Structure 1
Amino acid sequence: LGQPMHAFDADTIKGQKVVVKTCAEGTVFKTLDGIERKLSADDLMICNAEEPMTIAGVFGGINSGVTNQTKNIFLESAYFDAVSVRKTAKRHSLKTDASFRFERGTDPNITVFALKYAAQLIVELAGGTVSSAVSDLYPKPIASFIVQIWYKHVSRLIGKEIPSEEIKSIITALDIKITAETNEGLTLEIPPYRVDVTREVDVIEEILRIYGYNNIEIPSQIRASLNNAVKPDKDAVQNMLANSLTANGFNEILANSLTKSSYSEQPETAVKILNPLSRDLDVMRQTLLFSGLEAISFNQNRKNQNLKLYEFGKVYHQYQDKFEEKHRLSLFLSGNDQPEQWNQKETAVNFYLLKGVVDTLLQKAGLKDFTVEDATSAELDFGLNYKIGNKNLVYFGFVSKQNLNKTDVNQPVFYADFDFDLLLRQIGKNKIVYQEVSRFPAVKRDLSLLVNEQISFNQLKNIALKTDRKLIKTVDVFDVYKGDKLPEGKKSYALSFVLQDEEKTLADKAIDAVMQKLVFNLQKEAGAEVRK
């Protein structure tokens, strides 16, 4: 019948009274599982003359049940408000069969029938006897739902004209009463237990369900209007990057956007869930880091330690009354890049492997005009940050030990986080220009430079490219040296430069002029010394 009930030991009901009421805020009540809970003033309780016995519609008290010594039973069958039961169950983190049914709505008109049926079963199966009449208290009967439906709306939503007689037959079979009828439609009385059918559209859905989806013919002509898509196409870019990552051995993960508040570095900006399913799902995630680390921990506990993962997802923040939702792309590397084989040793993942993947994705997206800085994110122990203007395009590096401990990950993890929204905007600014392959040869020159330890390769590269953007095509580093053979606080960079003129073959005189200007700028802006 689907009607939850409770059986009390009648001899233990103090004062021989059953009272339905709320209790004072903070009242201590021990439930059947032996846990003491503090009641809310909004919790509906079933009490005796002195104290509460059960949480109405949710859970019984420690002394409210039937035992082997019970001789007399008091049966209770009731209807409780679905919203009230759900709030109480969530408030006390309880999920029972009774609360499951009451939360979804039960039939208020079946309580007496269910009570009598239960008593009859006790008589037939347990040899009991009915010792009292039924006491039924129903001061405010719940009215049936009155819904008006129109035949033209039925035809429009279903996409087919169903005969009115068939519609009436279906409605009657669904235990829905037809109270009035016109040529245009019907007035219906829907029983209170059908809490999912309270609107005209709900009734039409029920008609379609019984009539059969397979009986609705697909039209031979489909009318549609074409809309101009926003460029670049988000899904196309996402699929392009996903295909590249998958082709390079990565697996895609899809994690829950709900997470635990203990992960939050900025709890004041977290989007909190008003009615969380559990304490582990009480806020919207502010980063993709921890959902990936949880996936890594799950796999490591099952002896799957060599992982390459990526996720496209959203992060959420609240700044005062404004909510912010952003798209991100995260990458994770952990364990070994190459397994041990007869002809090679195992190779662990490292920072440079991750950097290569990040650079490949940006190259595939056509992005190259960004600056490089040391990462300052609290999520990382060390890493790099690629910026466009003053906005972070991607930061990546080694995940801090503190964050690894939060998810019980016991081996190093390298992580990258892309601002996918910024990535899309930058791709939209790309202009594809055809350029013929140069007919003139490129020239390569090398320089060995002595610089301060604080000078980065990116600084030297930017100085070089600014020196002559027309002729200097690429700048690469092929050696970095630090040691006791160098002055204290110094390091050595060995750089290679590729020069090329698209209009003519470069002469030695022009090449020497560019290199002299390059050395002068490096000395002036970076304090570099040329090693000979």
Structure 2
Amino acid sequence: MKISYNWLKQFINLDWEAEKAGELLTDLGLEVEGIVPFSSVKGGLEGVVVGHVLTCEQHGNADRLKVTTVDLGNGEPVQIVCGAPNVAAGQKVPVATVGTTLYDEEGKPWQIKKGKIRGEASLGMICAEDELGLGKSHDGILVLDAKIAPGTPVSDVLNIENDIVFEIGLTPNRADAMSHLGVARDLKAGLLQHEVSIELITPSTSNFRIENRTLKIEIEVEKPALAPRYCGVTISGITVAPSPSWLQNRLKAIGLVPLNNVVDITNYILHDLGQPLHAFDAHKIAGNRIIIKTLETGTKFTTLDDVERELHEEDLMICDAEKPLCIAGVFGGKNSGVSESTSAIFLESAYFNPVSVRKTAKRHGLNTDASFRFERGIDPNSAEYALQVAAIMLCEIAGGQITSEIADVYPKKIEDHQVFLNFENTTKLIGEEIPKEIIKEILSSLEIKVHNITETGIGMTIPAYRNDVTREADVIEEILRVYGYNKIKFTQKLNASISGKLPIEDYEVRNKVGDQLAALGFNEMLNNSLTTQKYLSLSESLETEHSIEMLNPLSNDLAVMRQSMLFSALEVAAYNSNRKMPDLKLFEFGKTYHNYPSGREEHKHLSLLVTGKKATESWNSTSETSGFFYMKGIVAALLEQLGITNTKEGLLKSDLFAEGITISSKKTPLVELGVLKKKLTKAFGMDTEMVYADFKWDAILEALSQRAFALKPIPKFPQVKRDFALLLDENISFSDLKNTAEQTEKSLLKEVSLFDVYTGENLPDGKKSYALSFTLQDENKTLTDKQIDKIMKKLQARFEKDFGASLR
């Protein structure tokens, strides 16, 4: 938000340096992000002075040039070659001295230098109107008043306005400060704490007079909940023309382009008092009626930017007896606005429902100065006052007459807030006791009415425009920011609360797993929890009614909370794949959100996605493709690192996976992993194999909290390995063999691994060959061959009995 210092001084008579005022504004919570000089003429005409033409003679080598000597007020006349037809001796003229920077019509700088023109020295330039940026005329040089002394800066003569503009990073809660009046109000309160007492000067409405009542516009509000207050007045006999220079300069200083006096005044009041206004051509209002209502979805409406929009049934519209005129609080209509032929206007000043305006603005992709303020909540009680101020300006500047009473539809007044402030709570929150008199002074300076003061606290009324101050804590924050955060002393004593630490801290576990994944070459994703509803059609297990929908979505792609982490990962994969990054190893910690009949739930997850090659190829090695077993190894390593080892595998049944497994502990699913179906990856524009793993993080944390472990020394005695090559039915899985082996030999069998799988020639139909490795160890003694053979025979017998297996 841009605030003009000159404009600000219309409300408070302050002579501080801009930098000092900016520091105070920042201390008050209106953070000044930059201070920029402004001039109504670019460059401020610095270096341009009044010159007295002493002599003017014809140039010896050019018919259209004159050689002049000019007194610049420093006692040393200079020679200047001039091509203007109207230059003559005795004139007072603007002279750009050597070194002065001027700007062309496009704003590009150019510098006045010493030079020779057709053999004659020229030490400056006598300027025309367009060369100074004062207009477009180039018929001749600008001739000034003969009484002006040579050497006088031309900026003083022509009343060039120089200003300072504050760039304020306004937080969304400070709707009250979205105007020069609001900033001045805060600045006045802050100055009082610096022992500077200044009166706040607001525009007077004493000149508001109704000349006649010849043009009355009836107002009907069908949606009072969306338009709690609506005011209007007619002004006739206006002449639409350019605004006076002072008004144009005010708007230019804050980055606005002046259009005409009517539009400029509405913009001026918006930035002056914070009240958006809208002017309608009164003769374009059918039936002399204004109706505030909603229209059917699909109704066409062309806005001021010449774009035809389809309205929504919740869009509040300003209509006449026949047609819509304006999107309330957002944007005007093309066919009802002010034009050069306008002679009478209906001026609107209203308070619209902030939520309704925000929804409409986002729905149509519009962000105007008016909607910006309505969305955050303006002062509902300033509508009539701002209308009177604007009407007076229109009469003075555009030559109009007020031709109706002010119509004010305000059926239910928006009340001020009643708050009680406890002194003890104030001291606790601030950490320092502020004298009661200073508290009362600060509250009064913020236009907060103090009703009664007791030993324990203060009863007060908060103005309705301070919609961010509704609780005791909000009032304390106001007191502290005006009193000054920098005034609060630091103590030498440091107080800290000590709380018992839980055995398992989620962030510690995430950091540990994240570090391990990063070491394995994975990159972390940070995705938005908002996603599109259309992804639900990609899975039968995701229900639309289980979605948590946004009441006010920024777009259709961010309309619901995600029910699955998978689609966010696929979006990232597709984005990278489209940019020649096909080899990906990604992980993300996040949440899914569900609206079940039993209530809303959030679930924590860790998602992993791999595709492409494991590593970059080099001259002496080739890289294998990441696949299911690579992902399974990663998952197993993570679980082992966490100390979760007592797990079981089962087949995964899901319409998202072509094949996969689920890993459980004590019948609780911990991880689902598998190869994604081709139709799913193609939906995101990819045809490579992708493997995905989903850790149920809540279950992981629960398993860790129940984990019991004991420390024991590393065994002194060696391990022994034996192998089996088994001929099995194709439907038998390795997990079945592993579980059976562990049940058969519980004490000495330490590990079972699969190191070879063969299917093909020389095997009976329906059969496959598994090569298993068994690791045996006795922690108290060395195993003998007799013991080892006995165990292996027992395992062989169990495999033959349970699975019909045979040794190859």
Under a length normalisation based on structure 2, what TM-score does the superposition of the two structures give? 0.61
- SS of the equivalent of 1:103 reads helix
Q: Deviations over 1:60-101 (max 9, x none)?
A: 345333456655443322122324434555677765543332
Where does 1:75-86 land on structure 2 (aligned, <5 Å)?
75-86=347-358
Q: Which has the higher relative contact order, 1 or 2, with Cα contacts under 8 A spaced 6 or more apart?
A: 2
Change (3 A) 1:357 1:23: closer
Aligned counterpart for 1:48 among listed residues 300, 316, 320: 320
- Consecutive unaligned residues in structure 1, runs of 5 or more: none
- 1:195 is aligned to 2:471: no
Displacement after TM superposition at 1:59 (Å): 3.6
Displacement after TM superposition at 1:26 (Å): 5.2
Displacement after TM superposition at 1:120 (Å): 6.5
Change (3 A) 1:269 1:56: closer
Change (3 A) 1:269 1:390: farther
Change (3 A) 1:118 1:352: farther
Aligned-pair identity in percent equals 44
Counterpart residue number, 1:136: 406
Confirm or deny: 8 A CA contact 2:612 2:625 kept in the other structure: yes
- SS of the equivalent of 2:658 reads strand
- 1:272 is aligned to 2:542: no
Counterpart residue number, 2:531: 259
Counterpart residue number, 1:514: 791
Change (3 A) 1:37 1:269: closer
Displacement after TM superposition at 1:117 (Å): 5.2
Counterpart residue number, 1:372: 649
Where does 1:51-200 land on structure 2 (aligned, <5 Å)?
51-67=323-339, 70=342, 72-86=344-358, 88-89=360-361, 96-115=368-387, 118=390, 128-133=398-403, 135-138=405-408, 139-140=410-411, 141-200=413-472
Q: Distance in 1 between matches of 2:631 and 2:713?
A: 33
Q: Distance in 2 between matches of 1:390 and 1:101?
A: 56
Counterpart residue number, 2:735: 458
Q: Deviations over 1:361-414 (max 9, x none)?
A: 011011122111232222222222212243321011222233324444454332
Q: Distance in 2 between matches of 1:123 and 1:307?
A: 69
Q: Deviations over 1:465-485 (max 9, x none)?
A: 222111221111221111122
- 1:527 is aligned to 2:776: no
Q: Distance in 2 between matches of 1:490 and 1:328?
A: 39
Counterpart residue number, 2:310: 36
Q: Deviations over 1:329-363 (max 9, x none)?
A: 11122333222333334543222221221111011
Counterpart residue number, 1:340: 617
Query: Bigger shift: 413-422 or 496-505?
Result: 496-505
- 1:287 is aligned to 2:570: no
Displacement after TM superposition at 1:495 (Å): 1.2
Q: Distance in 1 between matches of 2:479 and 2:690?
A: 55
Confirm or deny: 8 A CA contact 2:281 2:336 kept in the other structure: yes
Confirm or deny: 8 A CA contact 1:450 1:529 kept in the other structure: yes
Confirm or deny: 8 A CA contact 2:591 2:603 kept in the other structure: yes
Change (3 A) 1:178 1:404: same
Q: Deviations over 1:176-215 (max 9, x none)?
A: 3334444443333332211111232211111112223343
Amino acid corresponding to residue 431 of structure 2 in structure 1: G
Counterpart residue number, 1:492: 769
- SS of the equivalent of 1:430 reads coil
Confirm or deny: 8 A CA contact 2:297 2:310 kept in the other structure: no
Q: Distance in 1 between matches of 2:339 and 2:653?
A: 64
Q: Distance in 2 between matches of 1:196 and 1:324?
A: 30
Aligned counterpart for 2:759 among listed residues 461, 473, 482: 482
Q: Distance in 2 between matches of 1:12 and 1:269?
A: 47
- 1:309 is aligned to 2:586: yes
- SS of the equivalent of 1:394 reads strand
Amino acid corresponding to residue 204 of structure 1 in structure 2: I
Confirm or deny: 8 A CA contact 1:31 1:59 kept in the other structure: no
Displacement after TM superposition at 1:23 (Å): 4.6
Change (3 A) 1:271 1:230: farther
Q: Distance in 2 between matches of 1:58 and 1:420?
A: 45
- Consecutive unaligned residues in structure 2, runs of 5 or more: 1-270
Q: Distance in 1 between matches of 2:598 and 2:544?
A: 12
When the two chains are superposed, the root-mean-square deviation of aligned CA atoms in Å is 2.8
- SS of the equivalent of 1:18 reads strand
Amino acid corresponding to residue 30 of structure 1 in structure 2: F
Counterpart residue number, 1:246: 518
Confirm or deny: 8 A CA contact 2:524 2:586 kept in the other structure: yes
- 1:205 is aligned to 2:481: no
Displacement after TM superposition at 1:164 (Å): 1.9
Change (3 A) 1:116 1:340: farther
Query: Bigger shift: 430-439 or 457-466?
Result: 430-439
Displacement after TM superposition at 1:10 (Å): 2.5
Amino acid corresponding to residue 532 of structure 2 in structure 1: K
Tell me the matched-pair count.
526
Q: Deviations over 1:38-75 (max 9, x none)?
A: 424xx543221223322322343453334566554433
- 1:418 is aligned to 2:688: no
Amino acid corresponding to residue 424 of structure 1 in structure 2: L
Confirm or deny: 8 A CA contact 2:503 2:705 kept in the other structure: yes
Amino acid corresponding to residue 177 of structure 1 in structure 2: K
Q: Distance in 1 between matches of 2:614 and 2:282?
A: 69
- SS of the equivalent of 1:78 reads strand
Q: Distance in 1 between matches of 2:414 and 2:756?
A: 83
Change (3 A) 1:145 1:467: closer
Displacement after TM superposition at 1:13 (Å): 1.3
Q: Distance in 2 between matches of 1:220 and 1:409?
A: 61
Displacement after TM superposition at 1:34 (Å): 0.6
Change (3 A) 1:446 1:182: closer
Confirm or deny: 8 A CA contact 1:339 1:347 kept in the other structure: no
- SS of the equivalent of 1:476 reads strand
- SS of the equivalent of 1:313 reads strand
Counterpart residue number, 1:10: 282
Confirm or deny: 8 A CA contact 2:545 2:595 kept in the other structure: yes
- SS of the equivalent of 2:736 reads helix
Aligned counterpart for 2:674 among listed residues 397, 400, 408: 397
Change (3 A) 1:161 1:271: same
Greater Rg by CA: 2
Aligned counterpart for 1:323 among listed residues 589, 597, 600: 600
Q: Distance in 1 between matches of 2:460 and 2:310?
A: 48
